[in-house]
Structure 1
Amino acid sequence: MPTPSSRRRPRLRRLADRLGAQYRTAFEPQYDPVRRCWTLRWYDGPTPATVQSALRRLGPESEGVLVRRDLTTRSLALAALRETRAGAMHRWVGSWGQRYHLAQLLADQEHPDRTAGAREAAMLDRLLAAATPDGGPWAVPDESRAFELIARDGIAWLLPSERLAGPGDADGVALTPLEYLTSRYAAGVHRAAWETALTTMPLRAAVTSAEADPEPTADAARAALALLPALRAQLNRDLDRAQARLGGVLQPQV
Structure 2
Amino acid sequence: MAAPKNRSTRLNRIAGELNERHRLDWSRGEAIEAEYDDGRREWTYRWIDGPTVEQVRRAARKADREVTEGLLYRRTLSQRTVTLGAIRMAMDSATTLDFRDRPYITPSAVEELWRTVSKPQPRDDRESALVTAILTETNGDHGRNWAQDYDLCKLVQERGLVPFLRRAAADAGQPVELSPLERLTERYVSPRASGAWTHRLRTMTPLEAFSAVQADTAATPQAVADALTLLPELHAALDTAAAELQARVQSEEPAA
TM-score range, shorter chain: 0.7 to 0.9
Per-residue deviation at 1:66?
A: 2.8
Confirm or deny that 1:108 pairs with 2:116.
Answer: yes
* Aligned 8 A contact 2:90 2:105 in 1: no
Per-residue deviation at 1:13?
A: 2.7
Instruction: Please show how residues 31-70 of structure 1 align to structure 2 within 5 Å.
Output: 31-59=36-64, 62-64=67-69, 65-70=71-76
What is aligned with 1:166? none
* Aligned 8 A contact 1:55 1:62 in 2: no
Confirm or deny that 1:72 pairs with 2:78.
Answer: yes
What is aligned with 1:190? 193
Per-residue deviation at 1:6?
A: 10
Percent identical: 31
Instruction: Please show how residues 1-254 of structure 1 align to structure 2 within 5 Å.
Output: 8-23=7-22, 24=24, 25-59=30-64, 62-64=67-69, 65-92=71-98, 98-112=106-120, 114-135=121-142, 137-138=143-144, 140-159=146-165, 160-161=168-169, 173-238=176-241
Partners of 1:176 and 1:31 lie apart in 2 by 51
Unaligned runs of 5+ in 1: 163-170
**What is the Cα-based RMSD across aligned positions, in Å?**
3.3
User: CA deviation digits over 1:92-124, x for unaligned, max 9?
Assistant: 49xx98222222222212123x21111111111
What is aligned with 2:27? none
Distance 1:12 1:212, change over 3 A: same
Aligned positions, number: 239
- Partner of 1:39: helix, strand, or coil? strand
* Aligned 8 A contact 2:49 2:76 in 1: yes
Task: Please identify runs of 4+ aligned residues in structure 1 that moved more than 4 A.
Answer: 4-7, 236-249, 251-254
Per-residue deviation at 1:194?
A: 1.4
Per-residue deviation at 1:84?
A: 0.9
Q: Given the two structures, how large is their TM-score scaled by the length of structure 1?
A: 0.78
- Partner of 2:74: helix, strand, or coil? strand
Per-residue deviation at 1:143?
A: 2.3
Structure with the bigger RCO (C-alpha within 8 Å, sep 6+) is 2
Partners of 2:131 and 2:62 lie apart in 1 by 36
* Aligned 8 A contact 2:125 2:175 in 1: yes
